[in-house]
Structure 1
Amino acid sequence: MTQIQTDPVQWNRVPEVTVEFWLIKLMAVTMGETAADYLAVNLGLGLTATSLLMAAVLIVALVLQFAQRRYIPPYYWAAVVLISIVGTLVTDNLVDNFGVALQTTAIGFTIALAVTFAVWYAAEKTLSIHSIFTTPREAFYWLAILFTFALGTAVGDLVAEVFALGYLTTGRLFGGIIVVIAVAYYVFKLNAILAFWLAYILTRPLGASFGDLLSQPPEYGGLGFGTIVTSLLFLSTIICLVIYMIAAQEPDDEELDAHGEI
């Protein structure tokens, strides 16, 4: 029998940018805020212990994610949820444990993100998320994601707390900015890569603001649902969306079979 050889197929390791992508990303960042608060405060682990624990879990999740040759929803989104929590904790540690001002933190993570993008582009000649099919590109991708979450946390807290706009107003502000970016992209043809990363950064303070609005007690400007209820609400939504994504991805498995990859 003649064995048919096919060229290796390079599969993107991150999802396409769809409505479902933005919905689950918003849910993930919201849960990142409330879950970090629950573990550190309500569960009584403290900020340092929570940070070490979640960093260890994130490392495991990223090892599993890097082991995949293509985008697999459960692995990818588990890593996103965990990196959202860790990104929040990084900023919280700098502010609460080390006394770094939110303004300084925001500037520092802006510089760190800009340097990441610069090195990424210098090495790979692209910042597109549509060609994350090598380990170096995926490493740059996740490092950038970590800094977007840390930066988004700092900016969101800065606007809501230091500028005293409150959670609802802060959420509306960042939601409005994201709408402006969307209009600039669809109507005025803003660069797709720039539009994506700007929106990705700003969904963090948007989600965190509404997470705090739902979970914080009324005396702190919230609705008082608590971190447990809020976290479980968004976690269940994330699970439902991931299940939907797995079902939607099933035709791709047939395509993999056709290329002899399974």
Structure 2
Amino acid sequence: MPKDSSSEKQSFTAPTVLRRPTRLGDEVYNAIYAQLMSHKIAPGGRISVDNLVRELGVSQTPIREALSRLETQGLVVKRHLVGYSAADQLNKSRLEQLYELRLLLEPFAAAKAAITMSDASIEALESMAQEMKALEAEDPQTAYGQFAQRDSEFHDLIAAGSGNELVREALSNLHTHVHLFRLFYHSQATSEANDEHARILCALRARDADAAAEAMRSHIMRSSERFATFFTRYPRAS
């Protein structure tokens, strides 16, 4: 008697899903990020996906993924029926408010991190500091955006080390570093910041909460002075 084919169990092999290498997505993101930081894509300027496809030699998919990622960082704005554009420039009032909030939160986070941060996290900070120091010898146009990314990671890791997730989230939502470093190219911003980072690290390694808070406070105040010179040079930008 013939077997009912509907009752037979059929074995099959599930199709293999090929994933796009994450490296390509990162490279596209870094390329667009660098254009935003260097003002090749000017603040407020429209971003053409088709132009980026031709320029970078990739499909629309990794470009749109990168733009969505940049949107979450506050660097890119997407408007319905208009498309993507670069976020507007930070103004003087916003800069002052940003630094007021940083002075309230980051010295506190550094003091807490000096007590609660793990040795492994401090070692990770030291590696980041070394990477930032090495960037001083690189091409400034390329290295500046990379420094901004490492600087953001450095401060975020200290905030995470404080153990206070609300403080970390608040600082993360400011998108501080991308907006500051996009303000204008400041040749001293990298070398001076590296020296200031070294003092913060010294206090963290010593587990000295007061020294960590003071080193962070000094770093933020000096950073404020560096970037405020933009509005002295270009008063109309205020």
TM-score when normalising by structure 2 = 0.29
* Bigger fraction of residues in helix: 1
* Bigger fraction of residues in strand: 2
